[in-house]
Amino acid sequence: MSLNYAFAFSLFLLLLVGLNLYFFYALNTTGKKPLPYTQPNVKLDLGPSVFKDIYTYFNYLPKQYKTKNPKFIEKQRDLISLFNSSAGTNSKDVLYETEKWVSDESLFPHTNGAPGQILQAIQNSQIALVDNAPKGTQLKLLLLLEGKQKLYFKPKRYELDNVIKGKIYAGYDRHNSEVFAYYLAMVLNFKWIAPSVIRKIHIDKDIVPKATLALNKTMVKNESGSTCIYGKCFYCKRNETVCPDQNGEIEGAAILYLDRQFKIHKSPWRRSYTTRKMEWEEDNNFCKKVIGTLSLKRILNLIDVAVFDFLIQNGDRHRYEVYKDQIVLLDNGKGLGNPTVDELDILAPLYQCCMLSSKTWQNLELLSGGSLSETIELLAGYQGNKLATEEHFKAVDRRLMKIYATVQYCIGKYGSTKVLKKN
C-alpha cells in the first residue's frame, strides 16, 4: 500500500466518523431545547462521568417534567384542606391527642385538618417554663407549655436573603429551614417528621419571667440594654448571642418535641468534616458494600432522605434516627444556605444505588412544573409564614428537575424494573 493511498484511506475514515457523529447529534437534539436554567456551581471532583451524565439528562428532560401535572390538582386540594383548618379547636386537646398518637404510618395524625390544628397549637399555646436544651451543637431552647407538652425553639440567626457560602454544612442552623423542611415532607408524603412552625416569643414577657435558673445563667445584657441569650450547647459562646428585635421578640422555629425512643445510626454516606474523603466520595460502587449490611427497606429509606436533603441542600445528616423501622427527619436546619449551589453528591445514595421507591417516584412525578415550591409557599401562608426568598423556591424546583434527571440516568443504565422498587 502506497503512502498516498494510506493517507487517502485514513482521511476517508475520519470523514465517515465525523458524518456519523453529526448524524447522531442531529438525531438527539432535533426538537429539543435546553432548559432555561442557568447552571449553578457543581463539584466535578467526585465521579465526574456520573455528574456529566446526569447533567446531560437534565438538559434534555421530556416535556412532562417541565410542565404541571394535572393529576396533582386533587392532591394539592387535599393538602390545603389539612392545613387550612384550625378554627374551633382547643390547643391543649390537640397537642394531647397528638402526643398519644400511635401509628405505623406516621408520627402524627394527618387527617381531618389535624396538621393545621397542630401548627396553630404550637404557635399560640401559652408557655409555662423555658430552659436550655443542652443537647446538640447549637443554641436552642426547650419550652414547656401549659398543657405539659414540650417544644424545641431554634432562634433566628439570619435574614431570609442571607446567603451562606463555604462548605455545605457551614454557618448556624437556619430556623426557616426547619419549618420549610416540614412542609416539604408533607408535600412529598414523608410523614416521619416533627411539625414545625414559625413563632415569635417576647423576651420580657415569655422568657425572662419563666426562665429556669440554668437559662438565667446563659443570659446577658447587650449595649442597648436588651436581654440576650447565648445558651448551652457544644458550640455556644458568650459572645455569640441571640437578641430580641425592636419589638422585644425573638423569632424562631417552634418544633414539637418528640417524646420517643429513637435508635441512632451513623449514615453510610456521612461526611468527615475534614479534608479527608470518606469511602463513598471516592468509590461510586460504594452502594454494593451498603447492600451487604442493610435491608432493602432501609436503603430505600436512606435514598428518600437523600432526595429530601438534596431539595433543601442539607449536607449535614451524619447520623439518622429510627423509630418503628422508619427514619425520622430530625435536625433539618442546615438547609436553604445558598440558592445558587446544588451539591449533587447529596444524591450519592440515589445515583450510586440507582434504586428508588416506586411510591416516592410517583409522588415526585406529580410535583413537576413548579408545583412543589408553589404548594409549600401556599401551605406555609395559612400559618402566616414566609419561609424563603424567591431564589430559594426556584432552586427547589430546579433541584427537583435534577432528581428527575438522576432517576432517568439510572433507568437509562439499568431499566425501570431494576430501578423502581415496590416497598
Between residues 12 and 420, the one the model is more confident about:
420
Residue 23 has pLDDT above 60, yes or no: no
> Is 245 part of the annotated catalytic residue set?
no
Report pLDDT for 27: 35
Domain boundary among 213, 233, 256: 256
Check whether residue 276 and residue 388 sit in a common domain: yes
Question: By percentage, how much of the chain surpasses pLDDT 70?
Answer: 88
Average pLDDT over residues 248-255: 98
Could you report the per-residue pLDDT of 266-298, keeping only the tens digit for each?
Answer: 999 999 989 899 999 999 899 999 999 999 999
Task: Give backbone dihedrals phi and psi of 341, rounded to 5 degrees, phi first.
Answer: -120, 130
Query: DSSP code of 313?
Result: T
Could you report the per-residue pLDDT of 253-271, keeping only the tens digit for each?
Answer: 999 998 888 999 999 999 9
Check whether residue 322 and residue 350 sit in a common domain: yes
Domain boundary among 199, 228, 256: 256
Check whether residue 191 and residue 333 sit in a common domain: no
Residue 20 has pLDDT above 90, yes or no: no
Residue 29 falls inside a structural domain: no
Distance between CA atoms of residues 10 and 132, nearest Å: 77
Hey, which bits of 189-340 come out as E strands?
Answer: 196-202, 219-221, 227-229, 249-256, 263-266, 319-323, 326-328
Strands 249-256 and 263-266: unpaired
Check whether residue 166 and residue 308 sit in a common domain: no
Could you report the per-residue pLDDT of 213-234, keeping only the tens digit for each?
Answer: 999 999 999 999 999 999 999 8
Residue 250 falls inside a structural domain: yes
Average pLDDT over residues 90-98: 88
Q: Which of 316, 342, 345, 397 is catalytic?
A: 316
Residue 24 has pLDDT above 70, yes or no: no
Q: At what angle do helices 390-414 and 371-381 cross, to 10 degrees?
A: 140
Could you report the per-residue pLDDT of 333-361, keeping only the tens digit for each?
Answer: 999 999 999 999 999 999 999 999 999 99
Q: Which amino acid is at 87?
A: A
Measured CA angle at 411 (ends 405, 414), to 5 deg? 140
Domain boundary among 256, 278, 309: 256
Between residues 28 and 71, the one the model is more confident about:
71
- The CA–CA distances, whole Å, from 51 to 27, 153, 402 equal 23, 38, 10
Q: Please state whether the predicted TM-score (pTM) of the whole model is above 0.85.
A: yes
Between residues 323 and 38, the one the model is more confident about:
323
Residue 380 has pLDDT above 90, yes or no: yes
Residue 179 has pLDDT above 70, yes or no: yes
Residue 115 falls inside a structural domain: yes
Binding residues: 138, 154, 173, 255-258, 321, 331
Answer whether 305's CB lies under 8 Å from 320's CB: yes
Residue 202 has pLDDT above 70, yes or no: yes
Binding residues for Mn(2+): 173, 331
Residue 309 falls inside a structural domain: yes
Could you report the per-residue pLDDT of 387-408, keeping only the tens digit for each?
Answer: 999 999 999 999 999 999 999 9
**pLDDT band (50, 70, 90) for residue 245:** very high
Question: By percentage, how much of the chain surpasses pLDDT 90?
Answer: 80
State the residue range of the domain holding 208. Answer: 87-256
Distance between CA atoms of residues 266 and 263, nearest Å: 10
Report the candidate in 399, 347, 389, 333 with the shortest Cα–Cα distance to residue 170.
333
Residue 13 falls inside a structural domain: no
Between residues 17 and 148, the one the model is more confident about:
148
Q: How many domains does the chain have?
A: 2
User: What is the torsion angle, in degrees rounded to the nearest 10, for the CA atoms of residue 409, residue 414, residue 416 and residue 421?
Assistant: -110
Could you report the per-residue pLDDT of 304-328, keeping only the tens digit for each?
Answer: 999 999 999 999 999 999 999 999 9
Report pLDDT for 260: 87
**pLDDT band (50, 70, 90) for residue 86:** low
Residue 29 has pLDDT above 70, yes or no: no
Residue 3 falls inside a structural domain: no
Residue 327 falls inside a structural domain: yes
Residue 365 has pLDDT above 90, yes or no: yes
Residue 12 has pLDDT above 70, yes or no: no
Check whether residue 218 and residue 302 sit in a common domain: no
Output the average pLDDT for the chain: 89
Report pLDDT for 423: 76
Binding residues for ATP: 138, 154, 255-258, 321, 331
Residue 24 falls inside a structural domain: no
